[in-house]
Structure 1
Amino acid sequence: MPERTVTVASKVGLHARPAAQVAKAAAAQPVAVTIAKNGGTPVAASSVLNLMTLGAAHGDTVVVAADGEGAEAAVDAIAELIASDLDG
């Protein structure tokens, strides 16, 4: 199962607008993508509520994972989004 550890770049963390953008991108992937804080329980990245309840703040590291055909590309796409500044 491909996974990547990535640092949250948005100043507000994975909350409100950044969470909505990540959830929308995750829902568009051909496989289910999960996200977890280091050592935490993975949640569906396609759910804004799940992302917001993670409590991932600016500078926190999270693990993005997926399984199945296209998982590598899906993980890369979501990790790249989380690592970019989504506040603007």
Structure 2
Amino acid sequence: MPERTTVVASRSGLHARPAAIFADAAARLDVDVTIALAGTPEEEALDASSILSLMTLGAGNGDSVVLRAEGPGAGAALEELAALLETDLDAQ
């Protein structure tokens, strides 16, 4: 399963508005995507398209997260989502 490690750039981390934007983007993809804090076992990763899961994750500004995707186009999906996390979504 392809994976991509990236850093959360939003000032408030993955809370409220940034989590909603990210969950919406993940839900529109034709692949299943999970997210976890770096160092978390793969089996404990959460559904990246769930706003509740993203807020439960507790990822703050500057935290490293691991995205994993499964399905055709997984690599491109990971790049798209990583770019979103590397943007300050609070500023939009």
Structure 1, gaps ≥5 residues long: none
- Give 1:30 shift: 0.6
3-state DSSP of counterpart to 2:62? coil
Runs of 4+ in 1 over 4 A off after TM superposition: none
Q: How does 1:5-84 map to 2 (within 5 A)?
A: 5-40=5-40, 41-84=44-87
How far off its partner does 1:12 sit? 0.2
> Could you tell me the TM-score, scaled by structure 1's length?
0.97
Q: How many residues align?
A: 88
Displacement after TM superposition at 1:69 (Å): 0.5
Matches of 1:55 and 1:70, distance apart in 2? 28
Unaligned runs of 5+ in 2: none
Identity %: 58
